[in-house]
């Protein structure tokens, strides 16, 4: 049991516990904090995979900006305890078993598929991390047009959010 | 120092995605359902980074970057829609927002 394995399993368990807390918590604010836990542990896993820039973006954009937006909306709408409704009997009895089946099937196929085996045998066995310099070169040369398109997308999203949240005159 | 096999990351990603789907179906609060979508996007991002690592290519990381940007824009618009829905219906329960339901 070496250090990378210990870090991986600690973060993986934290992420799964966070996801389970998101499902089981009744208050939306508890779900939001659990989601922050998932995102931070995923950032550590990105570091373990050698993607430093993605880890930083994950912390700044996801755990920072997006989750602050969520917490702000929860506060603004004064969202309290989630009410339980059971209109659908089918969902009540079939939902959870089918969900667990999907979870196990996905995990099994991921583990058992050809590509999973091939990679587990160590195709990409290097330990070097991806430098941010290479990533930015890729981003600003090969993917320059999509990058500019995302700036337009964000502009439209800002305008859309303003128009939607504006009070009607 | 041995490294963690990529398939471990893929299994974790699959588990997180499955939990995201379960949360999406089980939860009744519209904000929490939105969080479940973010959880699924995060799970997919983990798979992207793991595959980028396995094939030693940067394109996967660039794609993760774009997914994060689009998710940020999506959450801004989505939360504005949630605020509008709340102003009109005074509820966050998805069962009571059923005007378009057949």
Q: What is the pLDDT of residues A79-106, one digit of tens each?
A: 777 676 666 677 667 777 888 888 888 8
What does the pLDDT read at residue A164?
85
Decide if pLDDT at A167 tops 80: no
Among B9, B21, B52, the residue with its CB nearest the CB of A102 is B21
Q: Where are the domains of chain B?
A: 6-92
- Cβ <8 Å between A82 and B17: no
The closest of B2, B11, B9 to B52, measured between CA atoms, is B9
Percent helix, strand and coil across chain B, each to the nearest 5:
80, 0, 20
Decide if pLDDT at B70 tops 90: yes
Is the domain defined by B6-92 classed in CATH 1.10.287.3510? yes
- Cβ <8 Å between A22 and B17: no
Report whether A47 contacts B55 (CB < 8 A).
no
Give residue B3's pLDDT band: very low, low, confident or very high (50, 70, 90): confident
- Cβ <8 Å between B80 and A165: yes
Report how far residue B42's alpha carbon sits from residue A105's, in angstroms, rounded to the nearest whole number.
19
Chain B touched by A80 (CB under 8 Å): no
- Please give the residue of chain A at the shortest CA–CA distance from B64: A54
Tokens of B87: 């102003």
What does the pLDDT read at residue A119?
53
- Cβ <8 Å between B31 and A83: no
| Residues in Cβ contact with A106 at an 8 Å cutoff, skipping those fewer than 6 apart | B14, B15, B17, B18
What does the pLDDT read at residue B37?
94
Among A32, A130, A161, the residue with its CB nearest the CB of B80 is A161
For an interface test with B, give the residue of A73, A112, A168 to mutate (most B CBs within 10 A): A73
Count CB-CB contacts under 10 A for residue A24: 12
E-only strand ranges, B27-92? none
Report how far residue A102's alpha carbon sits from residue A11's, in angstroms, rounded to the nearest whole number.
23
pLDDT greater at residue B91 or residue A22: A22
- Please give the residue of chain A at the shortest CA–CA distance from B83: A165
Which residue carries 């089981």 as its tokens?
Answer: A24
ipTM over 0.85: yes
Among B22, B50, B58, the residue with its CB nearest the CB of A134 is B58
Output the pTM of the full model: 0.87
Report how far residue B14's alpha carbon sits from residue A158's, in angstroms, rounded to the nearest whole number.
32
Give residue A122's pLDDT band: very low, low, confident or very high (50, 70, 90): very low
What does the pLDDT read at residue A116?
53
Which residues on chain B are in Cβ contact (under 8 Å) with A160? 76-77, 80
């Amino acid at each position: 049991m070496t250090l990378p394995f210990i870090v991986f399993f600690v973060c993986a368990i934290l992420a799964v516990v966070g996801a389970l807390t998101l499902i089981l918590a009744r208050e939306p604010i508890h779900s939001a904090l659990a989601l922050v836990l998932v995102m931070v542990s995923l950032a550590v896993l990105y570091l373990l995979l050698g993607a430093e820039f993605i880890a930083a973006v994950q912390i700044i954009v996801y755990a920072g900006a997006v989750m602050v937006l969520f917490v702000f909306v929860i506060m603004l709408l004064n969202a309290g305890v989630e009410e339980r409704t059971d209109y659908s009997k089918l969902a009540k009895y079939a939902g959870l078993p089918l969900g667990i089946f999907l979870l196990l099937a996905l995990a099994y196929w991921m583990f058992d598929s050809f590509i999973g085996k091939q990679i587990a045998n160590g195709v990409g066995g290097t330990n070097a991390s991806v430098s941010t310099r290479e990533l930015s070169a890729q981003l600003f040369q090969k993917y320059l047009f999509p990058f500019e398109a995302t700036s337009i997308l964000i502009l439209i999203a800002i305008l859309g959010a303003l128009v939607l949240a504006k009070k009607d005159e | 120092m041995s490294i963690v096999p990529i398939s471990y990351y893929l299994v974790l990603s699959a588990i997180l995605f499955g939990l995201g789907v379960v949360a999406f179906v089980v939860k009744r609060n519209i904000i929490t359902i939105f969080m479940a979508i973010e959880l699924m996007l995060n799970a997919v991002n983990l798979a992207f980074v793991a595959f980028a690592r396995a094939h030693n290519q940067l394109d996967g990381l660039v794609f993760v970057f774009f997914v994060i940007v689009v998710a940020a824009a999506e959450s801004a618009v989505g939360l504005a829609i949630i605020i509008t829905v709340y102003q009109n219906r005074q509820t966050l329960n998805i069962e009571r927002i059923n005007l378009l339901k057949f």
